[in-house]
A and B are shown apart, each in its own frame.
Chain A
C-alpha cells in the first residue's frame, strides 16, 4: 500500500465532499474523471485548489499536461512526488 496514494484518496474524498466513497473504493489506477469516479471539470478545479494548498504545487489549469496528472490517483501521486514544495 502506497501511503501517498491513501493520502491523496483522503484528500479527494474530503475536498470534493464525496459521499458513499471510502479510500478503499478508489482504485489507484482507475480514471478519476469521466467513467471512473465520475468527477467533472468543476471537481477538477476544486481538487486543484486542494492540491495546491496541501502540497504547494503549481498547476496550470486546462493544460494537456495537467489533465494527464489528473488521470488517476497513481498519476497524481507521481506528480505530487516530483513537484511538491511542502
Chain B
C-alpha cells in the first residue's frame, strides 16, 4: 500500500475512492471533502477557540474533526460522558450535530498545525487532557503503517468508539490516511460481523472487552476469510481469550500496548510472546519501571510510566502496574496491597480502594461481593460484614490502611475501555470534603489549569452562611497552595500576598478553572479563579521562599508554613 497521506492535506486532495459505509451506503472521499468544507463553514462563526466533539458515528466524527481543525479550532475529545468530564471541558461548546448541508463549502487550505485534546482517566484520578498535535498524529499513523502490513483491499470495522485515542487512530485517522474504507457505525456486538458490507475483507478494531465475549455458538466457519486482521488495545487481553478469539476469527489477535499519554509502544500477535517495541520506540528501565523515548511524544526526552517490565530479548514482558501508593496522614499506603488483602477474603469477588480526604484521610473500599459475601450480607447486614472484614484485615495491615468506608456495588464502575476510574470510585464516597472535586488538569509550559467543581457538600459551606452559602476566601487561598505544591517545587514558606482580590463570591454548584503559574525566578505564584462566562472570582499573587531565621528570636513571629 502507498504511504499514508499527511493528515493536514487530507481534505485538500483530489480524486475519489471509497471512504466509508454510512448506514450501509458507500460514501466516497470527494463527498467527505465536500462535507468537511460545509461543516467548516458551519463552525466558522463560532467564537470559541475549542469545541467538544462527541459523535458515535465514525463518518460524522471524521467530518466534524477535520471541519473543526480547518476552522482553526482545538478539538476536545471526552473519553466518557461523566459529570466530572463534562465539567472538565468547561465552557467549550459542543459541536452537536447540526446539518452542515445548509452551508456553502468553505475554501480549505492544507493544515500546518492542528490540535486535539484527548481526555483520559489518569492513574492518579481526575480526567487528564492529553494534547496531541498534528505532527504527533501524523507520526502515529506513519508508525502504524510501517509496523502493520494490511491487505490493500481490506475495509475497517470497529467495536470501540472513535473518541478514545485507540479508536481515533485505528478507526479514524489511519484508515483515512491509508485510503481504507470504514464502517461508520460502532459495532459493539459480535453479531455485526455477519452483517458486514458485501465487499471483501475487514480489519477488526476491537476492545479486549469485545474479544473476551465472542460467543462460541455463533456460526464462526461462515465468517472464514472475511476478517483480514484483528487489533486489540485499551487494556489487557487474557491469553486464553486471545487464543479463543484467534481460533474463532481465523487470524491472530494483534495486541497493541500503549496509552493516551505515550501513543503506541509495543505489540505482539502471540499472547505467550514478549512485547516487541513498535518501530522507532526506544525502551529502557528505571528499576522495574518502563521508560521510553518515542517520536510520538511531545518531546524527545525519556518518559517513565508506572508499568513494571522485565526485558526479554529485544522486547519485554509486562509484570503489572507499579503499586499505587498514597499518603494517608503522612504514612505511605499501597492501595495495591490493600486490594490484594481484600481479594483474599471469601466474601469479596472484586475490590478497589480509594484514598478519601474528608474529615481525616482514610480508605474507602468499593466491593463486588462473591456468593458467600452476598449470603453473609443477607444474613447479618452490611454493618456486620464491614466489621468482620475490618477485624480480619486489622492484624495484616496498619490501622490506617484498613478501609473504613465500604460501598457495595454490582460492578466496579468502569468506562467504555474497561478501566475503573478513580473519579467514579470517589463519587461513591461523597461526604463533606475540604477540597473541591478536581475534574481535570492540563499542564503547559507556563503553568497548569485545573478545573474544580464546587460541591455544596464542601465543609467550607457549613455555617458560612446559613441559607446563603458562600465559599470563604481563605478556602480559595488554601487550594491555591495545596494544588501548587502538587504541580510545582515551591519553596517551603509563604512569605506574603500581593494584589489579592475576591471579585465575585463563589457559590455551590459552580465549576471554576484555577490557573496557576509559578515563576521560580522571583518566587511568585500567580493564581486566577474563573467561573462560567469567564467571570473572575479571585486572583492575586503569593510569594514563596525560605523564611529568614531570626537570630534574636522571641518577638518576630515566623511566617506560617502552609
Q: Which residues of A contact B (CB under 8 A)?
A: 17-22, 25, 35, 38, 40, 42-43, 46
Asked whether B386 lies within 8 Å of A20 as measured between CB atoms, the reply is yes
- CB of B497 within 8 Å of the partner chain: no
Complex: A66 Cα to B454 Cα, angstroms? 40
Complex: A22 Cα to B381 Cα, angstroms? 12
Q: Please report the total number of B residues contacting A with Cβ < 8 Å.
A: 18
Complex: A83 Cα to B400 Cα, angstroms? 31
In the complex, which of the residues A20, A35, A43 contacts B383, with contact meaning CB atoms closer than 8 Å?
A20
Give chain B nearest CB distance to A26 CB in angstroms.
11
- CB of B210 within 8 Å of the partner chain: no
Report A-chain residues with C-beta under 8 Å of the C-beta of B431.
17
Q: Which of B386, B390, B399, B402 has the most CB of A within 10 A?
A: B399
Asked whether A20 lies within 8 Å of B399 as measured between CB atoms, the reply is no
Asked whether B394 lies within 8 Å of A40 as measured between CB atoms, the reply is no
Asked whether B383 lies within 8 Å of A40 as measured between CB atoms, the reply is no
Report A-chain residues with C-beta under 8 Å of the C-beta of B399.
38, 40
Asked whether A17 lies within 8 Å of B406 as measured between CB atoms, the reply is no
* 7 intermolecular pairs with C-beta atoms under 8 Å apart: A17-B359, A20-B383, A25-B387, A38-B390, A38-B399, A40-B399, A42-B329
Interface residues of B in 134-174 (CB under 8 A from A): none
- CB of B360 within 8 Å of the partner chain: yes
- CB of B405 within 8 Å of the partner chain: yes
Could you mark each residue 352-383 of chain B with 1 if its beta carbon is under 8 Å from any beta carbon of chain A, else 0? 00000011100000000000000000000011
Asked whether B383 lies within 8 Å of A25 as measured between CB atoms, the reply is yes
Given known A19-B405, A20-B406, A46-B360, contact A40–B400 (CB-CB < 8 A)? yes
Given known A19-B404, A20-B406, contact A42–B383 (CB-CB < 8 A)? no
Could you mark each residue 382-397 of chain B with 1 if its beta carbon is under 8 Å from any beta carbon of chain A, else 0? 1100110011001000
Asked whether A35 lies within 8 Å of B394 as measured between CB atoms, the reply is yes
Asked whether A19 lies within 8 Å of B387 as measured between CB atoms, the reply is no
Complex: A19 Cα to B359 Cα, angstroms? 13
Could you mark each residue 327-343 of chain B with 1 if its beta carbon is under 8 Å from any beta carbon of chain A, else 0? 00100000000000000
Give chain B nearest CB distance to A75 CB in angstroms.
20
Report B-chain residues with C-beta under 8 Å of the C-beta of A25.
383, 387
Nearest A residue (CB) for B394: A38
Nearest A residue (CB) for B358: A17
Report A-chain residues with C-beta under 8 Å of the C-beta of B406.
19-20
Report B-chain residues with C-beta under 8 Å of the C-beta of A19.
386, 404-406
Report A-chain residues with C-beta under 8 Å of the C-beta of B402.
38
Complex: A21 Cα to B385 Cα, angstroms? 11
Give chain B nearest CB distance to A32 CB in angstroms.
13
Q: Which of A20, A42, A43 has the most CB of B within 10 A?
A: A20
Report A-chain residues with C-beta under 8 Å of the C-beta of B394.
35, 38
In the complex, which of the residues B360, B382, B391 contacts A42, with contact meaning CB atoms closer than 8 Å?
B360
Give chain B nearest CB distance to A69 CB in angstroms.
20
10 additional contacts (CB under 8 A) given A18-B404, A20-B386, A22-B383? A17-B358, A17-B359, A20-B382, A20-B383, A20-B406, A25-B383, A35-B391, A38-B391, A38-B402, A42-B360
Report B-chain residues with C-beta under 8 Å of the C-beta of A42.
329, 360
Report B-chain residues with C-beta under 8 Å of the C-beta of A21.
383, 387
Report B-chain residues with C-beta under 8 Å of the C-beta of A46.
359-360
